[in-house]
Amino acid sequence: MLAGLSRTALGVPKMTITVVENQMSGDFDVWSLFDVTWLTASDGPDAYLDRVLARCANWFRAAGGSIFLNQPDGQFVLACKTGTLTDIPEGATLDSRSGIARRAIEMQLPLIVDEVSAETIRGLQLNRQDEIGSAMVVPLKSPDGILGVINLSRRRGEPAFVLNDLVQAQSIGRHLALAVSNARLFQENRQLSLQQNQLRERFSSIVHQMGVGVVVTDSDGSLSEVNPMGQMLFTSMPHLGAPADAWMKLVKPIFRKSLARMVNSSRSGRTRQFRVANSAGCQAWSLVSCPMPSGGVVLTIEDVTAHERALQEQHHTNRLAEIGQMTAAIAHEIRNPLTGIQSAAQMIVQNPEQARDFAPVVLEEASKLNHLCNDFLDFARPMQLSFEPVRLSDIATSVAHRLQSQFDEHQVSLTVESDPNARTIRGDRNRLEQVLMNLLLNALQASSRGHSVKVTATSSRLIVEDHGIGMDEDTLANLFTPFFTTKTKGTGLGLSNVKKIIEAHRGRVFVRSDLGAGTHFEVRINSRNAA
């Protein structure tokens, strides 16, 4: 229904306003506002709003018009303008606190002014108000609120806006609000698409400049991306988008089987890595496949021939250094017993009657030499293991029982904690007992009276913890080096043999230590050794 508001009721002087509520009109082709070709044109949403405003101005025979859109900060900013009556600077904002614009926004209804003055059109930024005879402001109302306002004006001497214009504006305002929402959605989608394209270009640029080959597949296995280095996988380059069975046929035979297994595994969510070498073994490659969240797979291939040769050379250099260190250590260890033997022999030569006194010295020093030779031979010869079903908890209990008297003598407590449900594994019982005995004796030597040592045994782990003197970083770094020792006695082969025995069981040794706080050794046997 129509309702009239007086100037006094509105609080705005020299202003006649007509309000219309709940009126609809189907006389205008409002669907042309939703012409998608306007939005998808290369000139974008701004040009689309220009066209919308021009069409509205043409419908209402207006000489000028403008659209102000509501921004996230609540400001209404000029989006577009048309006609000679609308002299508005770019970036102008709408003062919605006074005048017809404020009333239109507050009432969420289109309003007409047929007695135009500076006061009535305040906030619309109309600098040529002396030429305006009639104006109409239409709020762009959506379920989310007021998106903006559209202002239309006619010259003095032209017919003023009337009730029928207001009825049409009521309908068009709602449709125009939807059109503006669509324009914004198109703009957001365009920006997102632009960002995606930029990210894709950046990704492609990085991938193409990488020093490793990269192959990317989509979730269905089709080929999505191949960088120049990745072309080494193929006998001839397949076209992008080729299905899995097509591009896989072009993979070189040396890679095909491994690559097919890797792709299938990664499409199931697993990361796989393979080493592939040619028949002569003179060239090798590392292949890695990783799943993507989208369901696709990223494959990388790298020629690791030079890297492996460098590792071999480094290993050879390290081995020579170890041999040199071992030779120096052996010479040092041999020199001491030989000195004792030589001294005893000289005394016997000079004083034959003292042979009985110095003969034990010769025997003792000779025994040391023999023991040293046996340790060296044990370390040098290949590890021979006699596998049988063993339970680490049984080994922990047995070794602890044998060493209990030594711990009691030094007043260091020894406790064993084991898993009653521990499984058996395949291992060499004697060798594993040798490992644990070595670790426990080291823990005992590092401990003082009143300290404690704890052994924990599970199905595949042996853990030895003490609260003794601990080790510094330099000692930890050389801990498993042959003939390295911080003890006054000993050859320094104990922990080297521990590592060798555990690696022969396909396991690993981990150690952490804090100087003055103790040491934690953990031996892990490969779970594949389960009996």
Per-residue pLDDT for 215 more than 60?
yes
The per-residue pLDDT for 45 is 67
95-109, 116-130, 375-389, 415-429: least confidently modelled range: 116-130
Between the two ends of the chain, the Cα-to-Cα distance in Å is 91
Structure-block tokens of residue 216: 């990317």
The per-residue pLDDT for 14 is 39
Same domain for 517 and 394: yes
Structure-model confidence comparison of residues 323 and 519, the more confident one? 519
Q: Is residue 447 part of a domain?
A: yes
Q: Is residue 442 part of a domain?
A: yes
Same domain for 315 and 263: no
Binned at pLDDT 50, 70 and 90, residue 396 comes out as very high
Per-residue pLDDT for 208 more than 80?
no
Q: Is residue 255 part of a domain?
A: yes
**452-457 and 413-418: which strand pairing?**
parallel
Do residues 284 and 304 touch, judged by C-beta distance below 8 A? yes
**284-291 and 272-277: which strand pairing?**
antiparallel
- Domain boundary (267, 283, 303) is at 303
Per-residue pLDDT for 399 more than 80?
yes
Q: Is residue 345 part of a domain?
A: yes
CATH number reported for the structural domain that contains residue 314 in this entry:
1.10.287.130
The per-residue pLDDT for 484 is 66
Same domain for 23 and 84: yes
Same domain for 251 and 124: no
User: Which strands, in side-by-side order, build the sheet including 284-291?
Assistant: 223-226, 213-217, 297-303, 284-291, 272-277
Same domain for 299 and 313: no
Same domain for 349 and 392: no
- Domain boundary (276, 303, 330) is at 303
Q: Is residue 148 part of a domain?
A: yes
Same domain for 504 and 408: yes
Q: Is residue 200 part of a domain?
A: no
- The proportion of the chain whose per-residue pLDDT surpasses 70, expressed as a percent, equals 82
Per-residue pLDDT for 394 more than 90?
yes
Each residue's pLDDT tens digit, 55-104: 888 888 888 888 888 888 888 888 888 887 666 778 888 765 556 777 78
Structure-model confidence comparison of residues 516 and 408, the more confident one? 408
Same domain for 331 and 291: no
Region 121-140: mean pLDDT is 68
Q: Is 121 exposed, middle or buried (0-12, 13-18, 19+ CB in 10 A)?
A: buried
Residue found under tokens 């709003």: 49
Q: Does this model's pTM top 0.85?
A: no
Each residue's pLDDT tens digit, 2-35: 233 323 233 333 344 444 444 333 444 555 655 5
CATH number reported for the structural domain that contains residue 266 in this entry:
3.30.450.20
CA separation for the pair 142, 140 (Å, rounded): 7
The per-residue pLDDT for 429 is 92
25-34, 208-217, 256-265, 398-407: least confidently modelled range: 25-34
Q: Is residue 315 part of a domain?
A: yes
Region 289-299: mean pLDDT is 88
Mean pLDDT score across all residues of the chain: 79
- Domain boundary (380, 408, 443) is at 380
In the chain, the number of structural domains is 4
Same domain for 318 and 293: no
Residue 292's nearest CA partner among 224, 216, 368, 383 is 216
Each residue's pLDDT tens digit, 328-383: 767 766 777 788 888 888 888 888 888 888 888 888 888 878 877 777 776 667 77
Q: Is the dihedral of CA 495, 498, 503, 507 positive or negative?
A: negative
Q: Is residue 206 part of a domain?
A: no
Region 430-452: mean pLDDT is 91
Dihedral through CA 91, CA 95, CA 100, CA 102, nearest 10? 120
CATH number reported for the structural domain that contains residue 143 in this entry:
3.30.450.40
**132-142 and 508-514: which strand pairing?**
unpaired
Same domain for 292 and 316: no
Same domain for 363 and 399: no
Q: Is 408 exposed, middle or buried (0-12, 13-18, 19+ CB in 10 A)?
A: exposed
Same domain for 392 and 372: no
Residue 489 lies in domain: 388-529
